[in-house]
Amino acid sequence: MIRIVTDSTADIPRELAQAHGIAVVPAIVNFGMETFREGVDITRGQFYSRLMSTPDIPTTSQPSAGEFAEAYAYASRDGYEVLAIHLGSAFSGLFNTARLAAEMSPHIPVTLFDTGLLSMGSGLLVLEAAEAAEQGASLEQILETLSSMRRRTHVIATLDTVEYLRRGGRLTSLNAALARILSIRPVIHVYDGELQQLARTRHREASLRRVADIAAAFAPFDRFVVLHTAALEEASSFAERISYLNSGVKPAIIEAGSVIGTHTGPGAVGFACVTKQ
Residues of the chain with CATH 3.30.1180.10: 153-275
Indicate if the pLDDT at residue 239 is higher than 50.
Answer: yes
pTM: 0.92
Indicate if the pLDDT at residue 218 is higher than 80.
Answer: yes
CA separation for the pair 122, 8 (Å, rounded): 10
For residue 65, the model assigns a pLDDT of 96
> Do β-strands 252-255 and 184-191 pair in parallel, antiparallel, or remain unpaired?
unpaired
pLDDT band at 179 (very low <50, low <70, confident <90, very high): very low
> Is the domain defined by 153-275 classed in CATH 3.40.50.360?
no
R_g over Cα of the chain: 18
CATH match for 2-27+62-150 among 3.40.309.10, 3.40.50.10170, 3.90.1150.10, 1.10.10.60: 3.40.50.10170
Tell me, what amino acid is at 229?
T
Alpha helices in 135-231 (DSSP H): 139-150, 163-167, 173-181, 204-218
% pLDDT > 90, the chain: 74
pLDDT tens readout for residues 18-45: 999 999 999 999 998 999 999 999 999 9
Closest CA to 155 of 200, 193, 183: 193
Indicate if the pLDDT at residue 186 is higher than 80.
Answer: yes
DSSP conformation class of 176: H
pLDDT band at 213 (very low <50, low <70, confident <90, very high): very high
